[in-house]
Structure 1
Amino acid sequence: MSPFLPLLDGEDDVLLASLSRIGPVVAPSSRLDGTNVPLHSLILVDHTTTLDVDELIAWLDAGADKVIIPLSWASNVIGIIPSERLLVLLDVNNFSAVSDRITSGVSGVVVKAPTYEIDLISSISKFFGKTSVHVLPTNTAPPSPGNIRELKGVSATLVLPCSLLTLEASSASQINIADAFLAPLTSDRPDGLFPTVVCDETGHSLGLVYSSTESVKESILSGKGVYQSRKHGLWRKGETSGATQDVVGIRVDCDSDSLEFCVVQHGAGFCHLDRGSCFGELKGLPALEGVLAARLASAPEGSYTKRLFNDASLLQSKIMEEADELCRAETQDDVAFEAADLVYFALTKCVAAGVSVADIERSLDRKALRVTRRPGNAKPQFVKPAPTPAPQAAKPTPTADPDALIRMRTSDLATISAKERAALLRRPVLRSDEMIAKVKPIVDAVRVGGDAALIELTAKFDRTQLDSVILRPPFAPEATAALDPAVRAAIDAAYANVKKFHAAQLDVPLAVETMPGVVCRRFARPIARVGLYVPGGTAVLPSTALHLGVPAQVAGCREIVLATPPRPDGSISPEVMYAAQLVGASAVLKAGGAQAVAALAYGTATVPKVDKIFGPGNQWVTAAKMLVQNDTDALVSIDMPAGPSEVLVIADHTANPAFVAADLLSQAEHGVDSQVVLVSVALDDATIDAIEAEVDKQARALSRVDILRESIPKSLIVKTASVTEAIAFSNDYAPEHLILHLEDAPSHVAAIDNAGSVFVGSYTPESCGDYASGTNHTLPTNGYARQFSGVNTLSFQKHLTSQEITPDGLKELGPIVATLADCEGLSAHANAVRIRLQAQGAQ
């Protein structure tokens, strides 16, 4: 265990990340909001609050190891919360007055002491015997490494406020966290190094290395595996091989003379022989997990594991079958045999869902921390019938209130802190690195396997068996024969508007004479080959096909490859096919998800490789786009990063509550993670209540009310006092869609700096931009409107420059260029000019 526990009293994220690698932390309850309890933390309860046992239990259920309660609470809490989950906070002057009942009812004490006086703390430690003792200094001076060693020697652990800790060199006011962590360590080796066991997240040993004070410091700070080679000095694991490590935790052994590093290993493995472990190949669950992950990426055709991955109903049946056989097994050998079968099929399910053995263990650890327990009764369908008792009157079962209001959360900028305002601007965390790891096997399968892999993955994910994944013009008439004439006319009108607006964006070639005889030009050329991703699934999105295809067509792209998931019968919806015809698609790829992105990026025998990929999609599509744009083998770019759909509405006293509610709901229905914000400008409570009433009323009448019941409660109402304050908040938020329900709305557009698209006035719903007004609906989300534009005609072009210089122009410009080239030491550059000037002089 770490020789100290950090007390979170600061906001340094880098410091906190480093501290998380060396053990648990102490979190003051005043920093918690009920949802952000750090896992394996100790919660220091604010003694000024009122005792709430249910809240203590909730923190423990959420993942805290222990709670530290005031001494005055102890008699009311002991016996309710397990003793191993309780610590009591004492003053150094009253520790001897603690009763035996309290000492036996808690697992330890935290003593507030003004000094690091070893004799005093030693006497406290002896007084409490086997009960653990933690020392919380009340002075502002940091301990020395010697203080920490002495306290460790009398079995006391320091609780150090983060204000006394630093990542920099130790000073009179702060101690470096690595210095504090390593203070009690002693080495019995002549070179002073510490033997270090390296294991993976499941505890399986990868190898034995050595650490030094310097290497441990760097690991704590960087989060990477850094060790000390006995021959070559500091060893940053994977620096040359690419087999890097992310450090999850560093622990000291019970004798304080060796270390354990828990890591996530990347690349071929830990061992220099490209094995997972220096002690041989991995066994058991880690080995099975590795095999299954490899089979998920490229299972041999006809293999049993491949069938399991492709047939969800088969896998479900096998899990149920093996669970039943395990229940019937009686001997030790039979139980072990049947349990192994069940684990195999269960882990297959996990790997298919992107769940690792480490994820399962973390879930088990969380459940073990819970204080409250479910009754543990089996579900009715798994309970064997019991003898029928005498008939009794049935008791009514309570149901959820169907009339519960669908409401948003509210914050007032006038009453919240800067930190709370910043929290309102945050989007949900997008774990792109985790998703990229999940899509990489899919992308690699298509890159290597081409059309065969595409057909296989389409059968797996889209439940459609195809002979060919590509359609080329002229498209068969039956592809659009079922199109409703009214829908055809609407698509035609939308196409005309979008094309008119995007055609107006074409650049006029630029020519500037920078000095006599020197003419510089800038002109556009289309990107030759583009891929357009049109999401499918439960929705039909011809609008996306138009909003991506029209600017590509206007820009003059030579090849336009439209990718979209096929329907169950293997066909493409007639609406999307009609849009593909209008925009002049040169091919339609019948595939979705990461596999479609991979096919566009690398090309196959039938799918053309493209130079740039456009279009929205789920997290799998987004991760695949991010992956391929960073692969030099693909040589492909993407339009922009993507996240959940967003709208921010600014409304003042002129706003119609029904209109505002309708605009909020039009984005909230996209998905449960949609980001919806209403910024009110000096609206009274009655008007805000009217808007919320309309949200509730309209939501109940919509087909996606179940989605709205989840997305709306996550949405925000932000109260502001003025239009200036509202627009400032919006510019900081940088929404995908911004709607202005304001008096004289056009006059405020000039103040908008960050937004994907702006909808001006109460009769400009966002829906019009999504479909047919003419602007593009593929827009930056997740705050990227600060840096990115929405898709436009220029997105499908690149710009070239040229210069043309006459002999007289070179006489003026040449000496300037030669002087600058000489200044930079590039004599060949200067020579290219001077040789021409000399030739002119000879004429």
Structure 2
Amino acid sequence: MESIHKAIQSGAGVYYSRSHKGLWVKGATSGDTQELIDIRWDCDADALQFTVKQKGTGFCHLQTATCFGPYSGLSRLERTLQDRKASAPAKSYTARLFREPKLLQAKIMEEASELCEASSKEDIAAEAADLLYFALAKCIAADVDLAAIERNLDLKSMKTTRRKGDAKPQWAQKIGLEELPSGKATPNGLPSKETVKEAASIPKDKEDPAGLDNGRIQMRRYKTSETEPSALATLLQRPSQRSTDQIMNIVNPIIKDIQSNGDTALLKYTHKFEKATSLTSPVLNSPFPEHLMRIPPETISAIDTSFENIRRFHAAQQEPKPLQVETMPGVSCSRFSRPIERVGLYVPGGTAVLPSTALMLGVPAMVAGCKQIVLASPPRPDGTITPEIVYIAHKVGATGIVLAGGAQAIAALAYGTESVPKVDKILGPGNQFVTAAKMIVANDTSAGVGIDMPAGPSEVLVVADKSAEPAFVASDLLSQAEHGSDSQVVLITVGLGEAQVQAIEAEVHAQASALPRVDIVRGAIAHSVTLEVGSIEEAMRLSNQYAPEHLILQVERAERVVAMVENAGSVFVGAWTPESVGDYSAGVNHSLPTYGYAKQYSGVNLSSFTKHITSSTLTPDGLKTISGAVMQLAKVEELEAHRRAVSIRLEHMEKKS
């Protein structure tokens, strides 16, 4: 805290350093100082992120801008322009731009016009680069740096409503664009007024090059022996999500609206986001009408099979009897479990209907003996819920289904409304808004609600050696890539030659091209990687570093490799165990930690729906035996009432004896 206080007070980069044995002011000796611009939490609020402006050669002791190599891209251009402004040769072009603002203004207009006229990808990239150069030159001339521009972008992105965004008349007329009356549809069918809606996995269009390499659907490939460790860590980063500030700016008002206006607000958001404008009640209560559960016999059979396997696996997790230990003579300690009374189970809608999630959450809640089980899931535009989900809600004994999704459903479960009962714990996956809402209500003491875990987009890591069948490997990668364009898949090959890796890549392209959700797959492939390693030990080290939601071991003697797993949500062992069986019917739970949280969290299991209570029972002799230790520690902590609670009993014993 002292370093943070000093940093804020001085406006400089100040840190706590073990090597310096205390506070370290960056640049105190080297002269390479930092001007502190901003301080904020990182993504999971366990570290602080400093935004600074470097002064001097940079941060690293090797005289580079950062410990991750030299600046590149816009950051490199910014430094170059700043250097030119300070000491450019008199005849340099950049110096001329700084001296002649009208020339710079003309060049910005020229390059903007050429970018508007460019059509090929190469020309657009080239013209955009030219425009960025001249635009940044104008900024640097006015002492406006990239950090200021980025802060401005962040502030603008937080706005939930904006002006129409139509072009100003002089520019609209120049290209023959007619102004549209407010609220009218634009030529592409979209409303002219910008609105805010929940984020979803958006498929890439067919002209987008995402996920393609020379026209093929292919992951980027790297040999770890030729890649720096810091670069590997970057390659294994998950796809970027919206900033916390952006999400909170949308989620917090929704939560407050539900708290204040209950059912009215909940229906308002369901009408807005799900287009279910005919819906008049936000809850479907049990018993559920038969006509809402009409599904084909083969689907009923599949659900019933999965239901029973999931029930068996979670029933086996029940504790046969309370734990009881005599820690010393006359001192008995025990622990027993009780079900959480009221649970809310969130079943996402989004790009795919997920009745399997209703099974994975509802069955263990039923097995645990939760007294009240409430599901929440976005309704269809006609106001109904997918019949498979209603059937599962009926089988697990749910008392109702909340007809809502997103942050609004989480808020309704956390605080309760006129129709939605308040719950004690919320479980289930969802998008960034659902996750943010879960975190907010869990941290609100007035809500008094717990959550299962933070969860993000789906992910899989496959480890494959020479024994792996290329078609199997490709199918496992694609089964997760089709979840959403924000999903990520990672392949680690162990000792494979070029021809063997290419065989897997050929299968990925062929299988992906035949999928109905190929555009979504391409979006996921765009930020997915293949890493070539030389040993199973290296493969598992990287896997444990990544901590995947799903880990698939397509290697020889896979059962032995399981002993090397330290971090994973769920492991699928051997060639005949696709991840799909875990998603649906094997019995293990598919509600798992993502985004690296497998290092700290377990997947949903029976204990997710129970709580443990401990008890202590002492005899008079037991209290005498332990009293010395208790009273001495109470004395050390200066908690006199604690000490007397023991001493008074001892005195009472002496009087009776």
1:495 aligns with 2:330: no
Instruction: Identify the residue that residue 136 of structure 2 maps to in structure 1.
Output: none
* Deviation of the 1:263 alpha carbon: 8.1
* Deviation of the 1:447 alpha carbon: 1.1
- The 1:262–1:496 alpha-carbon spacing in structure 2 relative to 1, beyond 3 Å, is closer
After TM superposition, the score normalised by the length of structure 2 is 0.75
Alignment counterpart, residue 455 of structure 1, candidates 267, 270, 286: 267
- The 1:790–1:10 alpha-carbon spacing in structure 2 relative to 1, beyond 3 Å, is farther
- Distance, in Å, in 2 between the alignment partners of 1:565 and 1:809 is 57
SS in 2 for 1:664: helix
Please give the per-residue CA displacement for 1:593-637, whole angstroms capped at 9, x wherever unaligned: 111111111100110011111111112211221222222221212
Instruction: Identify the residue that residue 188 of structure 1 maps to in structure 2.
Output: none
- The 1:572–1:40 alpha-carbon spacing in structure 2 relative to 1, beyond 3 Å, is same
SS in 2 for 1:422: helix
Alignment counterpart, residue 623 of structure 1, candidates 427, 436, 442: 436
Instruction: Identify the residue that residue 546 of structure 1 maps to in structure 2.
Output: 359
- The 1:579–1:262 alpha-carbon spacing in structure 2 relative to 1, beyond 3 Å, is closer
Mapped contact 2:286–2:399 kept (Cα < 8 A) = yes
- The 1:655–1:744 alpha-carbon spacing in structure 2 relative to 1, beyond 3 Å, is same
- Distance, in Å, in 1 between the alignment partners of 2:293 and 2:322 is 39
- The 1:354–1:841 alpha-carbon spacing in structure 2 relative to 1, beyond 3 Å, is closer
- Distance, in Å, in 2 between the alignment partners of 1:32 and 1:750 is 34
- Distance, in Å, in 2 between the alignment partners of 1:22 and 1:522 is 54
- Where do residues 416-455 of structure 1 align in structure 2 (5 Å cutoff)? 416-430=227-241, 431-455=243-267
1:833 aligns with 2:646: yes
- Superposition RMSD in Å: 4.4
Mapped contact 1:87–1:108 kept (Cα < 8 A) = no
1:824 aligns with 2:623: no
- Where do residues 517-596 of structure 1 align in structure 2 (5 Å cutoff)? 517-596=330-409
Q: In the alignment, residue 504 of structure 1 is paired with which amino acid?
A: A
Could you tell me which runs of 5 or more consecutive residues in structure 2 were left unpaired when the two chains were aligned: 1-10, 12-26, 40-49, 59-63, 102-139, 200-206
Please give the per-residue CA displacement for 1:274-315, whole angstroms capped at 9, x wherever unaligned: xxxxxxxxxxx99xx99x95xx7xxxxxxxxxxxx9xxxxx9
Instruction: Identify the residue that residue 594 of structure 2 maps to in structure 1.
Output: 781
- The 1:13–1:488 alpha-carbon spacing in structure 2 relative to 1, beyond 3 Å, is farther
- The 1:641–1:13 alpha-carbon spacing in structure 2 relative to 1, beyond 3 Å, is farther
- Distance, in Å, in 1 between the alignment partners of 2:31 and 2:306 is 54
* Deviation of the 1:676 alpha carbon: 0.5
SS in 2 for 1:486: helix
SS in 2 for 1:42: helix
1:37 aligns with 2:73: yes
Query: What is the aligned-residue identity percentage?
Result: 47
- The 1:615–1:16 alpha-carbon spacing in structure 2 relative to 1, beyond 3 Å, is same
Asked which structure has the greater CA Rg, the reply is 1
- The 1:25–1:598 alpha-carbon spacing in structure 2 relative to 1, beyond 3 Å, is farther
Instruction: Identify the residue that residue 445 of structure 2 maps to in structure 1.
Output: 632
SS in 2 for 1:437: helix
* Deviation of the 1:793 alpha carbon: 0.7
Alignment counterpart, residue 196 of structure 2, candidates 346, 352, 368: 352
Instruction: Identify the residue that residue 73 of structure 1 maps to in structure 2.
Output: none
Please give the per-residue CA displacement for 1:106-140, whole angstroms capped at 9, x wherever unaligned: 3279xxxxxxxxxxxxxxxxxxx9699xxxxxxxx
Please give the per-residue CA displacement for 1:780-813, whole angstroms capped at 9, x wherever unaligned: 1111100010011101111110001112212212
SS in 2 for 1:601: helix
Instruction: Identify the residue that residue 125 of structure 1 maps to in structure 2.
Output: none
Mapped contact 2:414–2:422 kept (Cα < 8 A) = yes
Instruction: Identify the residue that residue 749 of structure 1 maps to in structure 2.
Output: 562
Mapped contact 1:319–1:342 kept (Cα < 8 A) = no
Alignment counterpart, residue 642 of structure 1, candidates 455, 465, 469: 455
Mapped contact 1:24–1:42 kept (Cα < 8 A) = no
Could you tell me which runs of 5 or more consecutive residues in structure 1 were left unpaired when the two chains were aligned: 45-65, 69-85, 91-97, 110-128, 133-250, 255-259, 267-284, 297-308, 310-314, 330-334, 356-397
- The 1:29–1:408 alpha-carbon spacing in structure 2 relative to 1, beyond 3 Å, is farther
Mapped contact 2:442–2:450 kept (Cα < 8 A) = yes
- Distance, in Å, in 2 between the alignment partners of 1:622 and 1:412 is 35
Please give the per-residue CA displacement for 1:640-667, whole angstroms capped at 9, x wherever unaligned: 1111111000011110111001100101
- Distance, in Å, in 2 between the alignment partners of 1:594 and 1:711 is 25
* Deviation of the 1:14 alpha carbon: 10
Instruction: Identify the residue that residue 226 of structure 2 maps to in structure 1.
Output: 415
Q: In the alignment, residue 463 of structure 1 is paired with which amino acid?
A: K
- Where do residues 103-118 of structure 1 align in structure 2 (5 Å cutoff)? 103=92, 105-107=93-95
SS in 2 for 1:107: helix
Alignment counterpart, residue 417 of structure 2, candidates 601, 604, 622: 604
Mapped contact 2:373–2:398 kept (Cα < 8 A) = yes
- Distance, in Å, in 2 between the alignment partners of 1:774 and 1:10 is 61
Instruction: Identify the residue that residue 624 of structure 2 maps to in structure 1.
Output: 811
Higher RCO (Cα < 8 Å, 6 or more apart): 2
- Where do residues 731-770 of structure 1 align in structure 2 (5 Å cutoff)? 731-770=544-583
Mapped contact 2:34–2:55 kept (Cα < 8 A) = no
Alignment counterpart, residue 503 of structure 2, candidates 663, 685, 690: 690
- Distance, in Å, in 2 between the alignment partners of 1:423 and 1:591 is 37
- The 1:34–1:539 alpha-carbon spacing in structure 2 relative to 1, beyond 3 Å, is farther
SS in 1 for 2:526: helix
- Distance, in Å, in 1 between the alignment partners of 2:518 and 2:396 is 34
Mapped contact 1:545–1:576 kept (Cα < 8 A) = yes
Please give the per-residue CA displacement for 1:81-128, whole angstroms capped at 9, x wherever unaligned: xxxxx77988xxxxxxx6x7x34x33279xxxxxxxxxxxxxxxxxxx
- Distance, in Å, in 2 between the alignment partners of 1:33 and 1:703 is 42
- Distance, in Å, in 2 between the alignment partners of 1:13 and 1:598 is 42
- The 1:436–1:319 alpha-carbon spacing in structure 2 relative to 1, beyond 3 Å, is closer
Instruction: Identify the residue that residue 202 of structure 2 maps to in structure 1.
Output: none
- Distance, in Å, in 1 between the alignment partners of 2:33 and 2:407 is 37
Q: Which moved more, 1:708-717 or 1:346-355?
A: 346-355
Q: In the alignment, residue 352 of structure 1 is paired with which amino acid?
A: V
> Alignment length, in residue pairs?
553
1:676 aligns with 2:494: no
- Distance, in Å, in 1 between the alignment partners of 2:191 and 2:56 is 33
1:406 aligns with 2:211: no
Mapped contact 1:612–1:639 kept (Cα < 8 A) = yes
* Deviation of the 1:833 alpha carbon: 1.4
- Where do residues 154-553 of structure 1 align in structure 2 (5 Å cutoff)? 349-350=193-194, 352=196, 404-430=215-241, 431-465=243-277, 466-481=279-294, 483-507=295-319, 508-553=321-366
- The 1:35–1:626 alpha-carbon spacing in structure 2 relative to 1, beyond 3 Å, is farther
- The 1:818–1:739 alpha-carbon spacing in structure 2 relative to 1, beyond 3 Å, is same
- The 1:587–1:323 alpha-carbon spacing in structure 2 relative to 1, beyond 3 Å, is farther
- The 1:679–1:573 alpha-carbon spacing in structure 2 relative to 1, beyond 3 Å, is same
Q: In the alignment, residue 451 of structure 1 is paired with which amino acid?
A: D
SS in 2 for 1:489: helix
SS in 2 for 1:349: coil
Mapped contact 1:26–1:41 kept (Cα < 8 A) = no
* Deviation of the 1:261 alpha carbon: 13
After TM superposition, the score normalised by the length of structure 1 is 0.59
Please give the per-residue CA displacement for 1:2-54, whole angstroms capped at 9, x wherever unaligned: 9xxx9xx999999797896559999989999999634695254xxxxxxxxxx
